[in-house]
């Protein structure tokens, strides 16, 4: 299957590192012009330098701005006034005992993990509908379905994101625009390494820490390892392509079999 996104413009939020960077790279390799977005111009410029060095033939552009704020959102939309592919990847996570999560933290998780996606969809979906083609994907998590006891505020936000995806898919019905969510399983990123070490111990070597975490906290995984960001990106690139024209309103799992269900 040869995926060709030449002529398409993609915007990936939270794409300076981790899963977002892998998605941006994958879309660019398929031929799309990809806007890389992060909170600061410095982080975006550093990411672009790495990406261009790795893929000199790919086309990237800078779209810095903190989209959890009005000014940052406007900054990103000014940099990318039109997009054919929107990937809402920005998200925060972190462990917290359930009874210690205060109102401010509940609001923060909703603002960053849910409302930023809603804001971006409102900005770009109308243009996609007018042009009769578009792809929107919200990067969710296995935590949306299997709420983790150590960070229920994160699970709540990702569950809400599934509802956002399904609802906007209905708004886009019949327009040629597909809206989906991608349920990513436990994925190996720098942030996750910090998270895992915070739970199993800072002095534990990564390979041992990863095995301990998966065995004790994610035993349902059928691949019994962390997923690599590129594995998430492969699914996102496919869903961004013309081949995925009949897939919309769905929650697609790239979770290593973690969610114990035969229904996607």
Q: Among 109, 124, 154, 258, which one carries the catalytic annotation?
A: 154
Other CB atoms within 10 Å distance of the CB of residue 111? 15
Count of other CB atoms within 10 angstroms of residue 237: 24
C-alpha closest to that of 239 among 185, 167, 177: 177
> How far from the centroid of its chain's Cα atoms is residue 188's Cα?
14
CA 130 to chain CA mean position, Å: 25
What residue has token string 């909170």? 39
CA–CA gap between residue 62 and residue 37 (Å, rounded): 7
What are 213-216's contacts with CB under 8 Å, separation 24+? 213/186, 214/186
Nearest-angstrom CA–CA distance, 255 and 252: 9
Is 258 an annotated catalytic residue?
no
Catalytic positions: 154
């Amino acid at each position: 299957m040869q995926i060709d996104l030449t002529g398409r413009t993609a915007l990936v939020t939270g794409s300076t590192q981790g899963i977002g960077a892998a998605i941006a790279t994958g879309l660019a390799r398929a031929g799309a012009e990809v806007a890389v977005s992060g909170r600061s111009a410095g982080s975006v410029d550093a990411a672009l330098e790495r990406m261009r060095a790795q893929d000199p033939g790919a086309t990237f552009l800078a779209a810095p701005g903190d989209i959890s704020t009005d000014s940052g959102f406007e900054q990103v939309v000014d940099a990318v006034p039109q997009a054919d592919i929107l990937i809402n990847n920005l998200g925060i996570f972190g462990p917290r005992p359930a009874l210690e999560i205060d109102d401010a933290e509940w609001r923060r998780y909703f603002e960053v993990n849910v409302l930023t996606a809603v804001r971006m969809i409102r900005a770009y979906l109308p243009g996609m509908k007018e042009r009769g083609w578009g792809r929107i994907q919200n990067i969710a998590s296995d935590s949306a379905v299997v709420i983790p006891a150590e960070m229920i505020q994160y699970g709540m936000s990702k569950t809400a994101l599934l509802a956002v995806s399904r609802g906007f898919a209905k708004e886009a019905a019949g327009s040629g625009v597909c809206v989906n969510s991608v349920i990513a399983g436990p994925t190996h990123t720098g942030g996750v390494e910090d998270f895992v070490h915070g739970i199993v111990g800072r002095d534990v070597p990564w390979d041992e820490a990863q095995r301990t975490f998966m065995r004790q906290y994610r035993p349902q995984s059928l691949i019994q390892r962390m997923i690599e960001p590129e594995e998430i990106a492969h699914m996102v690139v496919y869903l961004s392509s013309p081949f995925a024209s009949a897939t919309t309103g769905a929650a697609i799992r790239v979770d290593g079999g973690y969610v114990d269900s035969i229904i996607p």
